[in-house]
Chains A and B, each alone.
Chain A
Amino acid sequence: MKDAKGFIAARVAKELKDGNVVSLGIGLPTQVENYLPEGVRITLLSENGIVGEGLMPSADDASSYVVDAGGEPASVLIGGSFVDSAVSFGIIRGGHVDVTVIGALEVDEEGNLSNWIIPGKKVPGMGGAMDLVVGAQKVIIAMGHTNKGAHKILKKCTLPFTAIKEVDMIVTEMGVMAVTDKGLELVEYNPEFTLEQIQAATGAQLIISPNLKRMAV
């Protein structure tokens, strides 16, 4: 599809409620704030030290004193504040973040997540991901359904875990899946794909929700 990332981000945005404290991971999740439903205002946390992060500043007013969690120039909204890392992660571990949206290398039907290391190949590190996924009230994985055809949604992750049993929902260009005690429940599907195609692109057995809806943004 044309703008899969924008489509995924727009669908994730519908999960956010007015007043939520939200953390958005680097990459696709950052786009979620561009699609907030009308009347929904959120407080964005940037774990390096901003409570109430604003929009990306233009190059002109970018201050080297304010960066986001990717180290890129950032801004703070009026009414926002700066915190040190210990306070920031106190906010995170303390359950004060309502929703975190993050990407995955692999995610599985038990809600386990792997997104910080490919042993022997790539070792970027976990940064704040382990704390965010454990601490946030709701964890949404936003990502492409497969990695160029290779399954990313699995029965069991093969890469080292970021956290176990913390993922609540997976949103991809193909559909929306809820992590349940029985496994992954497909609750919405993108009508551009058949259910067979979605299952074939998934490395775990999908439970088709009795209330299956079309994915709309």
Chain B
Amino acid sequence: MAKVVSVEEAVCLIKDGDAVMIGGFMGCGSPHKVIDALAKKGTKNLTVMCNDGAWPEFGVAKLITSGQVKKLIATHVGLNPEVGKKMNTGELQVELIPQGTFAERIRCGGNGMGGFLTLTGFGTIIADGKQVISIDGKDYLLELPLRADVAIICGNKIDPKGNVWYRGTTRNFNVVMATAADLVIAEADNVVELGKIEPENVVTQGIFVDYIVNGGNA
């Protein structure tokens, strides 16, 4: 059974220097309440893995602006000028990964796989330092798993077992991130009674979720 905690309790589980995966795509499906509380608490030197830098003052961007992020691992940061500024001053390290590779590396991290082979990035600077493996005459890059200390995800309906149902396009990276961290905090737009999410509709199984925060959006 996942444990329902307050948002303040939840962010106390995240330590200075932790590697933290944060779900969402340009803030859509991001755990906004937990991000706000983490910004307020001021936890430092975080390595954040998130698809993007979001929009200024929205979602994960708040942690970047506040200087709590030491390193950002993302696929796209072009819509948040603050990321570029902090990169140029050296305040923020940014590692860019192709989006499909980012998703699959996290999936590997959560699925006990030692990595995967992809054609994506071959012949580009993304391939620098990576092992190339030829299969049937095609050159693939070996991409290694990604894991984190903590994953913070967000779902629209979460039951007390931690089973998650997502609305719209909010599945994005939440689904894989929920599998790939030592500790998983799930923010619920709505905490619902057991049985309110039909077994067929559970997308993230409760066994992946350690703590639930009631975001109480709607």
Contacts and interface: CB of A to CB of B under 8 A. Distances in A.
Contact of A123 (B55, B96, B172): B96
Contact of B79 (A71, A88, A93): A71
B121 A49 contact: no
Given A89-B100, A125-B78, 15 more contacts: A71-B26, A82-B171, A84-B176, A85-B51, A85-B99, A85-B102, A86-B106, A89-B99, A89-B104, A123-B78, A124-B78, A130-B100, A135-B100, A160-B125, A161-B125
Given A123-B77, A123-B84, A71 B28 contact: yes
Contacts of B25: 48-49, 67, 69, 71, 85
A168 interface: no
Q: Please give me the 9 A-B residue pairs with the lowest Cβ-Cβ distance, nearest first.
A: A124-B78, A71-B26, A89-B100, A65-B168, A131-B100, A164-B123, A84-B175, A127-B76, A125-B76
Contact of B172 (A48, A70, A74, A92): A48
A126 B75 contact: yes
A63 interface: yes
Contacts of A66: 28, 168-169
A58 interface: no
B174 to A, nearest CB: 7
Contacts of A50: 169
A118 to B, nearest CB: 11
Contacts of A69: 25
Interface in B110-133: 118-126
A86 B28 contact: no
B170 interface: yes
B49 to A, nearest CB: 12
A135 B87 CA distance: 30
A164 B124 CA distance: 8
A85 B173 contact: yes
Contacts, number: 153
A128 B26 CA distance: 13
A63 to B, nearest CB: 6
A44 to B, nearest CB: 13
Interface string B49-68: 00110110000000000000
A197 interface: no
Contact of A131 (B99, B106, B174): B99
A211 interface: no
A2 B51 CA distance: 37
A77 interface: no
Given A49-B25, A64-B28, A125 B104 contact: no
Contacts of A86: 103-104, 106-107, 175-176
Contacts of A71: 25-28, 52, 54-55, 79
A47 interface: yes
A94 B214 CA distance: 38
B171 A130 contact: no
A134 interface: yes
A163 interface: yes
Given A67-B169, A124-B77, A130 B87 contact: no
Interface in A36-68: 46-50, 63-67
B94 interface: yes
A85 B98 contact: no
B55 to A, nearest CB: 7
B142 interface: no
A134 B123 CA distance: 11
